[in-house]
Chains A and B, each alone.
Chain A
Amino acid sequence: MSTTVTPAATLSSASASIASRRSVSIATILKWLVAICVAIVAVFPIWWMFNVVFSHPGVPISINPRLYPTSLSAGLNNILTIFTETDYLRAYYVSVMYTLLTIIGILLFSSMAAFEFAQFQFPGKNLLFGIVMISLMVPKAVTIIPTYLLTVQLGWLNTMQGLVVPGLASAFGLFMLIQFMKSIPAEMIEAARLDGANHFQIYWHVAIPLSKNALITLAILTFMSTWGNYIWPLIVAPSPTMYTVGQVVGLFNAPYSHTTVDIVMTANLLAAVPPLIFFLIFQRQIVEGIAHSGTKG
């Protein structure tokens, strides 16, 4: 290869680089265009739901296609209507309790078991651990009906414990916490033992604070899956007094429910508010939690 650079060669390479710069900029424009379009597709249905709530219901779609909110008072009126004229408030309460108790139960019981599996050796450990891990592979489809029948036998139909307790036997959170607690140095636990902490104190004063991040992530993921759980409340709490938000929304959907779109969307919007708020606050933990379970699991 020659090392002398002729003027022609410099010229052509210069024009090539200009051409490539231009093609890069076209690609960049295209990239932005696609990104913005996808963002619109992703966000628009939620935006539209919001607009439906905050628009005068009387105005036909052909005149107002609900591309932006038009009436604050109509929206507030819708919210008032749904709280006063339907049992939505009660459903909201049931959903909140269901979610809260499930989060507390899962965090407490999984972290206690994870602490043992991650940090200690004891007879039977490998057997127990193996059984629990195999359960991660068993699909929900196989357990849901017998679990329902068991709940019926316990007389827990239409009760809060019927909603909450069977869901606490989830190996997912346990697995996640074990992975995390394995990284707690054994010396920290031994130091606490020498300092006179008993087994439960070591768990409570050392393992729990050190696992704070993992616990927050698990709490958020549990929140999302419990708040969004549709199928279990549907079968185990069929009485209107125990309806969850999801069931009410589903009911509004049923044919002949005679619910107008603005009321349906108000119910939807109110159901969407807690997860959206959580997302805005804990975005990093949610995204990292999901990414972590995918790349490490």
Chain B
Amino acid sequence: MSSRTTRSIAHYLMLSPFMLLFAVFFLYPIVSGLFYSFFEWNASQTSHFVGLANYTKVFTSRNFEKATWNLLIYVSITVPLGIFVALSLALLVDSFSGFWAKFFRSAFFIPVVMPLFLAATIWRWIYAPNFGLLNTILGWFGMPSVQFLNDTGTMLYAMIAVDVWVSAGFNMVIILAGLKNVPRHYYEAARLDGASTFQQVVHVTLPSIRPVLFFVITYGLISALQVFDVPWLLTGSSFAEYGGRANALLFPVMDMMGRGFGSVRFGQASAYGFMLTILIVCVTAVMFALRKKFGDA
């Protein structure tokens, strides 16, 4: 045997643990999930082929409509708002230097370090009616107690606040790294041309960090479309009860998990997963097409 083939064997040996795990716990589940999505599954484990029935059942269900609608509102607020806050924070931190820049960066970043389940529980108590911190503060100003997490008019916005609180620091750090890469002389040239601070941001900073913004927006979109932990923990937190009053915090992944683990309809849950994947892949594709169209900076 030549040394060349023994070397190739060594390569495959080193690769095999990862590739094996990858095949078993990533590739196989995708294929089997597609398979499951065409079968009727129930607790008694007898399954039979149902064609596209799972897909149509999901598609026409009331919960699906509600979850999709919630998702649409949620995504269209939380992504732009989150990016705007993160960008503002990044510019704010960037305007400091030395100790204070580090200090504020760390302070703004702390919520990211918290596990999501923690953030959600803390906020749940802050939002609590009557005795919650927020309502106590409102009480000082003589305002009536608000049922932030039980009033269908406020629930989604209360959740978005938590979401932004959690994710702003994460995106800020990425944008900050982008800001550090903008050559200083760009700003100097703009100042010589008489640009105000605001004009510098619009005409120098934003175009220069376009790739970073693209990443932050795309990544933010993909995670927002799969939102689960925060609404789950702000509502019932169990498969018996989730989504909150009038399903105001029901989202697709939650709906999918509920169908699988709440009512043991894994066929529908798998179909749900694929529909969600198609949506996410489409959104990603659109983002990449946009990036191509508007060019890399």
Contacts and interface: CB of A to CB of B under 8 A. Distances in A.
B242 to A, nearest CB: 10
Given A145-B273, A261-B125, A275-B113, A295 B174 contact: yes
A290 B26 contact: no
A279 B107 CA distance: 11
B92 A31 contact: yes
Interface in A236-287: 246, 249-255, 261, 264-265, 268, 271-272, 275-276, 278-279, 283, 286-287
A43 interface: yes
A147 interface: yes
B211 to A, nearest CB: 8
A1 interface: no
What is the interface of chain B mostly: helix, strand, loop, or mixed?
A: helix
B156 interface: no
Contacts of A271: 115, 117-118
Contacts of B226: 139-141
Interface stretch (B6-14, B48-56, B185-193): B6-14
Contact of A254 (B14, B26, B107, B237): B237
Nearest to A265: B125
A36 B157 CA distance: 24
A48 B133 CA distance: 9
A102 to B, nearest CB: 12
Interface residues of B, number: 94
A271 B228 CA distance: 20
A87 interface: no
A231 B257 contact: yes
Contacts of B238: 254
B236 interface: yes
A180 interface: no
B284 A132 contact: no
Interface in B241-290: 241, 252-253, 256-257, 260-261, 266, 269-270, 273-274, 276-277, 280-281, 284
A227 B266 CA distance: 27
Interface string A170-192: 01001000000000000000000
Contacts of B110: 42-43, 46, 279
B165 interface: yes
Interface string B21-36: 1101111111011001
Most buried by B among A145, A169, A251: A145
B165 A41 contact: yes
21 contacts: A31-B95, A39-B104, A41-B165, A48-B122, A109-B18, A113-B14, A113-B15, A113-B19, A116-B15, A117-B15, A147-B26, A149-B32, A150-B32, A168-B18, A171-B22, A228-B114, A228-B115, A255-B241, A268-B118, A268-B122, A295-B211
Given A271-B118, A291-B173, 6 more contacts: A38-B108, A120-B11, A142-B273, A150-B28, A290-B173, A291-B176
